[in-house]
Amino acid sequence: MKLLIVESPAKTKTISKYLPEGYVVRASIGHVRDLPKSNKKAIDIEAGFLPHYEIIKGKEKIISEMKSDSQKAEQVILATDPDREGEAIAWHLIEALDLNGEKNSKVKRITFNEITEPAVNEALKHPREIDFDLVKAQEARRVLDRLVGYDLSGLIWKKVRYGLSAGRVQSPALRIIMEREREIRAFISEDYWVITGEFETKNGKKIILICDEQPKNEKAANRIIEIAQENNWEIRGISQTETKRSPRPPFITATLQQTASSRLGFSPSRTMAIAQKLYEQGLITYMRTDSFNLSKEALPQIYKTVEKDFGKNYLLPRIYFSKSKNAQEAHEAIRPASAVKKSAGANEEQKKLYKLIWERTIASQMADAKILRTKVSANIVKASSSKLQVSGDIPDFSANGSVIIFPGWLAADAASRGENVELPQVLKGDSLKLSDISSEGKQTEPPDRYTEAGLIKELEKRGIGRPSTYATIIKTIQDRGYVVKEGKTLKSTDTGEVVSDFLEKSFAKYINDSFTAEMENELDEIAEGKRKYEKMLGDFYGPFSKDVREKEKTAGKITDLGEADKKIKCPVCGGPMVIKLSRAGKFLSCKKFPECSGARKIDGSIIEGPKETGEICPACRQAGRNEKDIGKLIEREGKFGKFVACSNYPKCRFIKKSAEEEAKSKTGIKCPKCEGEIVERRGRFGAFYSCSNYPKCDFIMKARPTGNICKLCGSLMMQGTKTISERCLNKSCLNYNPHKK
């Protein structure tokens, strides 16, 4: 028996179909070992940054089963993903399954960029050993991120607020968003006027012309309108230019995330999750790549598809090269496994993303689109107004049109076409009749905030992060509460601004573009065998840890974020106020705090202090406390508005709810640990579900229970996502990710 191990259960089904008898396919379900949560025993710095790995909680059963299979197998084939992460997982499997020493001779590593029968069988013909340079590169990234994250986060806890965090790559991303936010705040709008004229040609056709210049004031705009109305008009010029639009390269990770965001509205993490499903079904090639290459096996099929679907004159074979010096050209771009298959996927989301990939791949090997661009300009014939000076000409009025004369690659990628704008047929010198003219006052606008697609493009341009990290970076800064999504744009929160300002002032060197990009280059050099793991980490961590220790001593605690507007006074004592940061964001506090507790919201409105309701806390009474220790119910104002809670908080966490809220929070489902009921609660990261007997019972779950019981392990089932209607509470159960079974 031969044992073949992959990462995902979904892959086992696809790959099993392509293997001959005698193979058993098992899934590790991602990583099997990781650094412990406690940093004290995670990394032995003195021993050369030696990481201490532990089996991930919940993976014990999977490891035990795979170890049993590996002992019976004559050969163990590790077929994890073809990148550093996959190489590291393969090595961790060797360690966890005790396949070192003499047993290592039966272990082989294979990789493939697509899960198709030819690709899998070809990979089986060329097994290799573990690439320890790739393993070390991934390990260096993991250790580096842990060291930076723990040291910076610990400092931010002390200097800003407990519970905040910083990271090697997330912090530069946050800085980029804050830089744009400062540009927007510093932007000063300017007035301008757009003048639009509606004309009629001598053939009776309507044409809209816009003034080429935009006056800075209404007086100048009115002058142009007056002169325009008092004169005859003629066509001054017609220019026609044939231009070409070339197709874009096939998708890499960054461009797939950008295009899926702008066209389909998918977040980067959602795009990668859908792409993962398509890959596991054998429908597309591996989705974490920065190479534009298309394999020599795939190209003939793409050429045939172009010729068959569009015609021979649409085919133009092309080779694309990455601008990144560190692009892994041995990998492939993201393409359909079969160019013949125009539509594929198990649901609408998968079909939409597959269609996007198919269109981009086919279009990349097609001829340029040819477009005829036309510009028509007009002006007054002569001056009949005394208001006109000798040099009193007005600017030209013009219109631009474009017509596709040969679609080329746009025939495959219709969403890139744009609209044809056809202008009426006119000749130079033709007269025009002015039907109507008007002006509209506008203001220049600040630069747009980054969208998720725009931020990925910026990170890629600056060399920050790699294909496998973009989605995680954006998800992390949102999960931390540093950035919120408003519509499609990313906006920094008060907390994000304070953290970014602190890091920029205290650790500017470590979060600037060049340093972050250089660290990525050094990790690439480890993967290529050009740089040593221990030296790279030592060169970085020595100076870094010294700077952190220095800032612990010299950097003051950021309690005040600056003086408030002098016009705003403390509502209690009438004194000056300062800006402070709470978990809910910025607010104004009396400068004399704690002597004076006066406070206002950041907009200057008063924050009302706690008010007694005259009721006794039922939770304190139920707990059997002495009369003097029983709390009173107090009305407070929090992040989500007013609420009534016990005065003994945090010792007593009782919150009084209205009858309507009480009914809404109940699920009617019994706690599996005790006799309590599972109820909805709200924490800093939103809603969650726990036992009504908390804190006596610590049962908790992140999604609302459905009331059903898992048929595989007997745990409660809970609500899933848009694509998974229901999933198991138990993370180690296959029904936790039923779509991967």
Which pair of tokens denotes residue 456? Answer: 């990925």
For β-strands 75-78 and 54-55, DSSP reports them as unpaired
User: Do 463 and 513 touch, CB atoms closer than 8 A?
Assistant: yes
**Dist. CA 681–CA 683, nearest whole Å:** 7
Q: Which residue has the tokens 């795939």?
A: 298
Which pair of tokens denotes residue 532? Answer: 């040593």
- Classify residue 311 by burial, with Cβ atoms within 10 Å: 0-12, 13-18, 19+: exposed
DSSP state letter for 88: H
**Dist. CA 713–CA 413, nearest whole Å:** 47
**Dist. CA 324–CA 197, nearest whole Å:** 48
**Dist. CA 158–CA 552, nearest whole Å:** 8
DSSP state letter for 741: -
Catalytic residue among 150, 279, 286, 470: 286
Chain centroid, CA 588 distance in Å: 33
Which pair of tokens denotes residue 572? Answer: 């209690």
**Dist. CA 233–CA 392, nearest whole Å:** 15
Which pair of tokens denotes residue 488? Answer: 């499609």
Which of 86, 77, 89, 72 is closest to 34 using CA atoms?
89
Angle formed at CA 266 by CA 261 and CA 267, multiple of 5 degrees = 85
- Rounding to the nearest 10 degrees, give the CA dihedral for residues 642, 648, 651, 657: -40
**Dist. CA 217–CA 209, nearest whole Å:** 20
Catalytic residue list contains 150:
no
**Dist. CA 507–CA 664, nearest whole Å:** 47
Q: Which residues does 606 contact at the CB level (< 8 Å), separation at least 6?
A: 571, 599, 600
DSSP state letter for 584: T
**Dist. CA 144–CA 75, nearest whole Å:** 35
Q: Which residue has the tokens 């010029």?
A: 237
For the chain, what is the largest distance between any 2 Cα atoms, rounded to a whole number of angstroms? Answer: 103
Helix (H, G, I), strand (E, B) or coil at 92: helix
DSSP state letter for 197: E
Chain centroid, CA 227 distance in Å: 53
Q: Which residue has the tokens 């001779």?
A: 105
- Classify residue 603 by burial, with Cβ atoms within 10 Å: 0-12, 13-18, 19+: exposed
**Dist. CA 409–CA 370, nearest whole Å:** 10
**Dist. CA 646–CA 612, nearest whole Å:** 10
HSE of 233, CA atoms in CB hemisphere, 13 A = 30
Task: Please list the helix, strand and coil fractions of the chain in percent, rounded to the nearest 5, in that order.
Answer: 35, 25, 40
Chain centroid, CA 378 distance in Å: 47
DSSP bridge pairs for 371: 243, 404
* Residue type at 367 in one-letter notation: A
Chain centroid, CA 30 distance in Å: 21
Active site residues: 286
